[in-house]
Amino acid sequence: MSDSTNPSGKPDTLEPIAVIGFSLKFPQDVYSPASFWEMLEQKRCAMTGWPRNRINLDGYFSRDGEGASKTFVPGAPFVKETIGVFDAPFFGISATEATAMDPQHRILLETAYRALESAGIPMEKSYGTKTGVYSGSMTDDYKHIITQDAMNMPKYVATGVSMNMVANRLSWFYNFKGPSVSLDSACSSSMMALDLACQGLRCGDSDMALVAGASTIFAIEGVLSLMNMSLLSPLGRCFSFDERASGYSRGEGFSVMVVKRLHDAIRDGNVIGAVIRSTGTGTRIGDPIEADAIGSIFRNSRSAEDPLHLGAVKWNIGHLGGGSGLAGVIKAIMVLEKGIIPPNGNFERLNPDIDAAFLNIKIPTQITPWLTKGLRRASVASFGFGGSNAHAILDDAYHYLKSRNYTTAHCSVGDPTGALPEQLPRYSNSG
């Protein structure tokens, strides 16, 4: 338990965890926090048609349960850079081995390097440290492709497509001594990874942790299996909380976050992006369930003048599957840092099954300043279709540190007119 106290003098129930850096590679050319924020503010959707170098749709079609043919999903949000680009020699990997490696392994190695750069930690300083790696992913598209010819599989295919290697390769390259775990709890995978990372820090399994999330799209099997269950939007877009919601759009992306115990981050002079206080889908059916759950908890603490804002990142970059939770956390961190709530994509009309007035919630349709003074708090929810759900609650660094009389570097804007006592969440983001 932490010895830090809140304004009432009570100790924190859980030791706070500091986010000290992150890196991302999201659809199209969104490869930095700045370009991601620009996309959010501009309500841009990264969905494009299917690239010919990914899937050739000419030979495929789908049927519904009655046998009638269905229109193939028109596209998805894809990373713009060629997915096979990889600097194998830099990571001590031969060309033969790299060929057999799932692109999730390759790109997360690069993303982790940039995440440590973002945290101001050079490779030689992190090498051999008690650092844990926790990754979350659910896609195995590369495995479908590379193992189709059983008599002509690459030499290193066993390690190249094994999901455990997503985390293990990062631990190997940096000689990290902490836990190294890859998780698949479906769409909540990377959020579950964040939860385990926080637990590992609090119990002393590690002194620093990297949390990774990944999603790729280039095999037909995953697309067809989801279409067979009518889970994918026939428009290829996510309309979260909107009456147009008709399924979700798969998205492609990669992210890595660096976390430490707050006291260690302050001691080491790390720049703090946000403070994780605790770690507890874009369809017509799912959105009302999520909105009702959130509203039932917070409606009595909100009002029509001061509602709880709900947002989602799926309109912009699609649903990143196992990596979606971490994408939601990154968006929430940037909201907390800036004190600005971006619009919820191209939102038009609220899903009629969501009673926003009764629940005291609001879907932001334009750039909205954080209206209440004092502590800014956000929650991020992530749900797996097997029932493994995860949740994270984050505070802005400025007000949290100020309330504890900590003086350290951070990225959050302040409140020049003075702060109010600690508040309930004012923003909730669906991963």
Instruction: Render 165-183 in DSSP notation, one character per residue.
Output: HHHHHHHHHHT--S-EEEE
Question: Quick check: 416 pLDDT over 50?
Answer: no
Range with lowest mean pLDDT among 89-93, 206-210, 287-291, 418-422: 418-422
Place of tokens 């006291």: 263
Question: Quick check: 319 pLDDT over 60?
Answer: yes
- Residue 105: pLDDT band (50, 70, 90) is very high
Sign of the Cα pseudo-torsion (413, 35, 137, 155, in order): negative
Q: Tell whether pTM > 0.75.
A: yes
Range with lowest mean pLDDT among 54-58, 201-205, 324-328, 415-419: 415-419
How many residues appear in the chain? 431
Name the CATH superfamily, with its identifier, for domain 277-430. Answer: Thiolase/Chalcone synthase (3.40.47.10)
Question: Quick check: 361 pLDDT over 70?
Answer: yes
Residue range 177-202, pLDDT digits in tens:
999 999 999 999 999 999 999 999 99
Question: Quick check: 290 pLDDT over 80?
Answer: no
Contact between 25 and 253 (Cβ < 8 Å): yes
CB burial of 355-394 (b: ≥16 within 10 Å; e: otherwise) equals ebeebbbbbbeeebebeeebbbbbbbbbbbeeebbbbbbb
- Residue 4: pLDDT band (50, 70, 90) is very low
- Residue 429: pLDDT band (50, 70, 90) is low
pLDDT of residue 341: 92
Fold of 22-271: Peroxisomal Thiolase; Chain A, domain 1 (3.40.47)
The DSSP secondary-structure symbol of 301 reads G
Q: Three-class SS of residue 122?
A: coil
CA angle 243, 244, 250 (to 5 degrees): 125
Identical fold for domains 22-271 and 277-430, yes or no, is yes
- So where are the chain's domains? 22-271, 277-430
**CA-to-CA distance for 270 and 37, rounded, in angstroms?**
23
36 versus 301: the higher-pLDDT residue is 36
Q: Which residues pair with 208 in a beta bridge?
A: 131
**CA-to-CA distance for 201 and 343, rounded, in angstroms?**
34
pLDDT of residue 125: 95
Q: What is the average per-residue pLDDT within 357-365?
A: 80
pLDDT of residue 7: 46
Tokens encoding 296:
């039932």
Question: Quick check: 3 pLDDT over 70?
Answer: no
